[in-house]
Amino acid sequence: MKRLEFLLVLVLIGTTMAMAQDRGGQRQFNPEEMAKRQTAQFKTDLELNDTQAEKMEKVLLASYKEMGAMRQEMSGEEDRTKMREKMTEWRTNQQKEIKKILTDEQFLKYEKLMEERRANRRGGAGGGGGQ
């Protein structure tokens, strides 16, 4: 009986460690993966045609690569204001490029989606952040 309990504890520990490693792997920043995943989501949410989706993926990929370079450059950066300014500039540039691809109606949907995502990250309306 003790042996069975010991084996169950080992399996539980092993599973927990494997899940922690998986979660850590997901957090790694992969621009190609992010661009593909985000484009697929936008294709559905914004009803992009194939040409728009192709252009969107290129813009997102370039944008995410730029973000990755900025993150590395700013790692260890103490000046939060400077970091915020760079990220705001990055976001503005990304939106300009995306606006060129989308119709006016799609861009309005895009802006609404982005606002909802920002609200969800902050805890959202009535979401109460348990972070």
Report pLDDT for 108: 95
At residue 128 the predicted structure's pLDDT band, cuts being 50, 70 and 90, is very low
Nearest alpha carbon to residue 43 among 52, 35, 34: 52
Q: Average pLDDT of the chain?
A: 80
Least reliable range by pLDDT among 40-44, 68-72, 73-77, 86-90: 73-77
Report pLDDT for 83: 82
pLDDT digits (tens, 9 = 90+) for 36-49: 999 999 999 999 99
Residue 66 Cα distances to 69, 87, 91, angstroms: 5, 10, 11
Q: Is the pLDDT of residue 27 over 70?
A: no
Q: Which DSSP helix (H) or strand (E) runs through 33? A: helix 31-45
